Amino acid sequence: MSEIITRKPRVEEIPALRDIWRAVFGDIDVGLFFQHFFDTEFCVITEFDNVPVAMGYLIPAGDIVYREKTLRCATIYSVATLPDHRGRGLGTAVVRKLIDLARESGYPAVVLCPSDDDLFGYYSANTELREWFNVSEQIFSSVPVSVCPAPLENTPAIEYRKMREGLLEGIVHIKQSIHTLEYQVMLCDKLGGGLFRIGDSCAVVECQTDGAVWIKELLTPHGRNADLTSDLNVTDLIAPIVQKFPAREYVVRRPAPIGQGRRFGMLAFSDDSHDDFYVNGFAPWYGMAFD
């Protein structure tokens, strides 16, 4: 059996990485990602017989904000293994190497949003990543249209981040970089959706190729989050999105109170000095994921 070798890619191997992306994720955003984020210094591959067969990337995500402190963090993104090479631990080797690379690059925190719920247990057992972020998620197959919906205003990335930070004040969260938010805008421009202000709230909306609309982040003033426990209040708030983006279903994600919601993201710290992150009654908030 060939030795598993994980390393940074060479420039001439970029076409092979694009091929892995297409084989695992399809063509939707391969061009956007390589244009906006790709850097050989923040990529790790696993080779088999001198050919890349697995890959993963680090994205400088921004800062974890908690209390009055910030902690630089990077996101592990697009870990992928060609189908014929799965089950050999190649993807796990990539994730471990990316955690080391994050620390070497000055990121004391590294986060990952698993693509499948079963991967939480797998990564917990095989890497330093631990469950950390929760999300409240609701799915609606039909949404009543409000007679007087709040105005839906498309918002540039820099303005969205400013509003987002105000609404997340007191909640542990990832303060997304402008570069990351601009990538979300690019995805929305291609698929449909955008970054929006809805009255005193804000949302990231992305249309999916299967006819669903994902409201990947719905943020309201803290006092209203407690009121979003009923379907009626949620549908009333997203009414302007429903009017603009008709769909077969709507997936709505928002911050979850402690002990509620579903697990959404994982985190690995460079040390164990960051234990108490539960502030203001809400679990740590990951934000939009590029899923």
pLDDT in tens, 63-107: 999 877 889 999 999 999 999 999 989 999 999 999 999 999 999
- Alpha carbon distance 14, 23 (integer Å): 14
Task: Specify the fold of 135-254.
Answer: Aminopeptidase (3.40.630)
User: Do 5-112 and 135-254 come out as alike in CATH topology?
Assistant: yes
**Pick among 3.30.1950.10, 1.10.3720.10, 3.40.630.30, 3.30.465.10: CATH of 5-112:** 3.40.630.30
* Bridge partners, 131 (sequence order): 266
- 121-126, Cβ contacts within 8 angstroms, sequence gap of 24 or more: 122/92, 123/95, 123/266, 124/266, 126/92
The per-residue pLDDT of the chain, averaged, comes to: 89
pLDDT in tens, 182-219: 999 999 999 999 999 999 999 999 999 999 999 999 99
Model pTM? 0.90
Mean pLDDT of the 149-173 span: 92
Predicted confidence at residue 237, as pLDDT, reads 86
Task: Give, in order, the Cα–Cα distances in Å from 160 to each of 101, 116, 244, 273.
Answer: 30, 29, 19, 31
Query: 151 falls in which pLDDT band (50, 70, 90)?
Result: confident
- Residue spans of the domains in the chain: they are 5-112, 135-254
Residue 115's φ and ψ, nearest 5 degrees, are -80, -15
